[in-house]
């Protein structure tokens, strides 16, 4: 079975500062990795995904994430955040070649202060 741990439930940061949201996973097989963003009272939308190839993945809104197989991590980063980045962020993992039902982390609330 696979699992996902988002190490911080809440991350406060000032506008224009860099941010890192941490995600660790466990799986005995190869995986696909995802980050989703959820704005208040809305559904989730995909920020970025790692399927294969380059371990540095770029997504929408200036976010990027790095897949580290040895540390089983997939941390999300942005060099300079905006107020509009305030949202809930979810990391998810699914087995490659499996039933494709993803497992989600509990989410990290990013709060950007002016």
Of the candidates 23, 25, 26, which has an alpha carbon nearest to the alpha carbon of residue 8?
Answer: 23
Q: Which of 58, 82, 106, 113 binds other proteins (CB under 8 A)?
A: 106
Pick between residue 15 and residue 86 the one whose CB is nearest to other proteins: 86
Phi, psi of 36 (to 5 degrees): -120, 155
Counting contacts by CB under 8 A, is residue 92 touching other proteins?
yes
Task: Considering only the stretches 11-19, 28-36, 53-61, 79-87, report the one whose residues sit in contact with other proteins under the rule CB under 8 A.
Answer: 28-36
Counting contacts by CB under 8 A, is residue 110 touching other proteins?
no
Counting contacts by CB under 8 A, is residue 42 touching other proteins?
yes
CB of 52 to other proteins, least distance (A): 10
Counting contacts by CB under 8 A, is residue 111 touching other proteins?
no
């Amino acid at each position: 079975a696979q699992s996902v741990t988002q190490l911080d439930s809440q991350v406060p940061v000032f506008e224009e500062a860099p941010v890192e949201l941490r995600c660790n996973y466990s799986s005995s097989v190869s995986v696909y990795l995802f980050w989703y963003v959820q704005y208040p009272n809305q559904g989730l939308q995909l920020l970025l995904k790692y399927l294969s190839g380059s371990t540095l993945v770029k997504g929408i809104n200036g976010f990027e994430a790095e897949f580290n197989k040895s540390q089983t991590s997939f941390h999300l980063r942005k060099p300079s955040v905006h107020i509009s980045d305030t949202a809930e962020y979810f990391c998810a993992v699914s087995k490659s070649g499996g039933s494709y039902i993803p497992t989600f982390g509990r989410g990290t609330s990013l709060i950007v202060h002016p």
